[in-house]
Chain A
């Protein structure tokens, strides 16, 4: 019966890829964290992911290189993976599994939470309702970001997703009752002292990319409001599976215990999915599409769904995940499953990027599902929905005409088609291509009207006559 109190085992029977097999580990429990003690005295960490009478399967967070069967001991910690929490986390930097890497001592926790997190009761959720002005026309005007939303950026290799995310961070402003301060997150910090926080989780990105973000935080003066989790490309792959969970547990603490508006940046979700596939393959699971496990949807949902607001609580979590679409393919399982979970997506286009347009946001496949909750009278402007719908419709038609013109030539076009062609062209060059400029929502919508005026009033069938009357002007 001493089995019941055994907490240390020397029964390692096999190691395969990132997995370690431990025989007769009767006292282990699912999800429990373990310490793996090497004969050299070195310690690695692992997590129990399957239990059977033959063995417990442990996923080793660090590499299994140098790990042997002989002399290796496994110690159970009697605890699932936990994150220590305190307001002192702000301004700190951690590795992918929540250990400090900035040379400072560990924080003194005020609370500890399991990083898995429990599902939020749908009834307890509050409806997102606040417009976040990002200063980017294609987002604010056409794919509005709302507080509590999860809106990923679908990027491709070499496309400027991080520059876009950094610009959003710099400019993002949460319009509430306050007049909009010029510099957003900083502005809010001034108003409410500590109304916001940024949680940044890097998974499998290069040092160059991560340091770009860190510099941006410094540059924006928001470093003391930021918690950073770094699992870089050369860090252990399996740790990556836990990194977003440490980050989101931290975000939940700041949002729902500390009452802050938290913006979470997760990059790169594609690297996370690769790690997930790696573990699944090692476990000899039946692979789903392109070798990714069949439960990837549920797994991703357990990350993305940790965004939103709770009734009666002040804070919120807004997620801005970044993912690289393999081969720019939006039907690849990673962007595909993400799109089914998130509340829309911002899609970057290689074609626009090649034309030198920044940010190269392709508005047609982009979408914000929560847009209607954040716009309209009292939030943005009464003409917002109509302008967005009409611009979408006309730009889509303009792109059709462009394809047509490539075949039949511009001479073969009717007058109205020529207008549409020009509209598509100028829309990309002016509305989309705004560079580093910070446009407020009025500026964005007014600019939108400029393009609507390319067509006679009676072609604007998605705009109500009274709005046309008000905004179209005399020339038409």
Chain B
């Protein structure tokens, strides 16, 4: 089925004689077969967004319709891969076609010659339905890749074989002679079905104090990270990709910098997964569409990434998806919409922006998987947003905020002071804090929620006191207030600030987070008591306790916890609990 080009404008092309096509069908455009997708059909004319640069296309060039939508390849071998927005393997592309990305190249996402050892987990004669696990492959040292019956397929297993296979070879046959291979395909824009969605009750542990303690996110939750340029969005995303606890990380570099991706590519193979100690790349899939790569593929990269995430979720894994940044995706949507001459909404974005964003965020979540009652998986979404001028009132931030369960607001003032992560604790929020309290109480300490409340109260108090100081000077404060101010500063410097590049402090286990904060808050109590006993402020500021607190975050976790406990005991002895 093919048509001919009658119009070309930027990344969009209109073709005639396309009456047979359907929305979102995959097409090949022009002599070199540029990859495209049908985004509008009118009579026999189809509008196509092209995923590659359209230079050189001419009227009359052929457009051929593949008769199916854009599909993502799923199967073993995804982990450790580096794809572009339409799932072409970038490393293979570089090896075969050189340093610059040429156009019209077609490469399978998964290598066809690689052999995998398949172990069947069902016998012939078993009744299976979509989502049922028929066998497994050890994809990496830690991850067992479960081969699932595709959603919508069911029947009786007639034949199933163990052994070594490539991804395209038949490993099982269902009744009616339907073959099953490891390689499966799924339409990129369609969410994969689940048995049931579950409320999130387990935290997504980031190892970052300000997040885990003040604004925790649930595993299966959605958090947005908006911030102007230079406030550290990418560092947050990368730190989480490195240190957060998850079975699988999908990292989408959507319309961002090439050199940053190079850092990820260079660093990840040498870094170790904090939970397993294995190379980080073994749990990671990178989807990279840098800002100079074609706009339309940038739009797709988000969907490619989330489909990969859902696939591993369906096997029962906890997956974290880092999207950096969602704004670039939204801008790609805007650009395409403008080319379609759609009536623009706010700031030129299409009126369906909020719907599309919500649909994307809703693909995250904690679920009971299809096909097996006790299998649970989750997709946590961490979405960076780049608001123009750092102004959060813009449509992408606002629409995202309505859907997301947590907001980590980045702040340029903090970033200018090199306070990182530059999280503005006044603006940020998390709706997951209360649902997660039972977990923290049971797994870390019964008074974890109370510490969070006390910490927030102290920061609030500091805010009020600062206002007074700004108006009338520090002399107007009483000693009790001044000490609150000093301890609050200590908390900001020694607790909320965390060095992503320090070997010890880059990731902070929950126990360490708990004990440092407990010691800090008790120090405030200690100072207040001492003041009542007539001590001078300077005396307290020079106290060895304070010096110890200042070194705590750079102390290895076990020693740190011991130190904190000893210190708490000592302070308690000195002033009485």
Contacts and interface: CB of A to CB of B under 8 A. Distances in A.
A52 B6 contact: yes
Q: Which of B263, B469, B550 has the most CB of A within 10 A?
A: B263
B134 to A, nearest CB: 34
B99 A294 contact: no
Contacts of A53: 6-7, 59
B291 A28 contact: no
Contacts of B57: 29-30, 51
Contact of A298 (B291, B412, B418, B501): B291
B391 A331 contact: yes
A277 to B, nearest CB: 14
Interface residues of B, number: 81
Contacts, number: 219
A123 interface: yes
A50 B9 contact: yes
B338 A286 contact: yes
Interface stretch (A100-108, A190-198, A305-313, A432-440): A305-313
Interface string A121-155: 11111111000000000000000000011000000
B177 interface: no
Contact of B8 (A30, A344, A367): A30
Contacts of A408: 471-473
Contact of B475 (A289, A294, A389, A412): A412
Interface size class of A (residues with CB under 8 A): 35 or more
A121 B100 contact: yes
Nearest to A80: B55
Interface SS majority for chain A: mixed
Interface string A358-371: 00000011010110
B335 A298 contact: yes
Nearest to B341: A286
Contact of A305 (B292, B294, B295, B389): B292
B56 A80 contact: yes
Nearest to B343: A286
A127 B261 CA distance: 9
A118 interface: yes
Nearest to A345: B230
A442 B14 CA distance: 61
Contacts of B255: 297-298, 301
B229 to A, nearest CB: 4
Given A30-B58, A396-B416, A414 B335 contact: no
Interface stretch (B89-97, B163-171, B455-463, B517-525): B89-97
Contacts of B442: none
B1 interface: no
A305 B335 CA distance: 20
A295 B10 contact: yes
A289 B59 contact: no
A413 interface: yes
A58 to B, nearest CB: 13
A372 B90 contact: no
Nearest to B550: A461
Interface string A105-122: 000000000101111111
B209 to A, nearest CB: 16
Interface stretch (A14-22, A156-164, A227-235, A335-343): A335-343
A313 B55 CA distance: 28
A138 B265 CA distance: 30
Interface string B247-267: 000000101011111110110
Contacts of B389: 331-332, 336
B91 A123 contact: yes
A302 interface: yes
B60 interface: yes
A385 B257 CA distance: 23
Contacts of A121: 90, 93-94, 98-101
A119 B293 contact: yes
Interface in B262-293: 262-263, 265-266, 288, 290-293
Given A26-B60, A286-B348, A396-B417, A122 B472 contact: no
Nearest to A121: B94
Interface in A269-291: 285-289
Contact of B388 (A126, A331, A364, A397): A331
A215 interface: no
A373 B262 CA distance: 12
Given A345-B230, A412-B475, 4 more contacts: A26-B60, A306-B292, A313-B99, A343-B259
Interface of A: 26-32, 50-53, 80, 114, 116-128, 148-149, 256, 285-289, 294-295, 297-298, 301-302, 305-308, 310-311, 313, 331-333, 336-337, 339-341, 343-345, 364-365, 367, 369-370, 372-373, 385, 388-389, 392-393, 396-397, 404, 407-408, 412-414, 417, 458, 461, 464-465
8 contacts: A28-B59, A53-B6, A127-B262, A148-B259, A287-B348, A288-B348, A305-B290, A343-B257
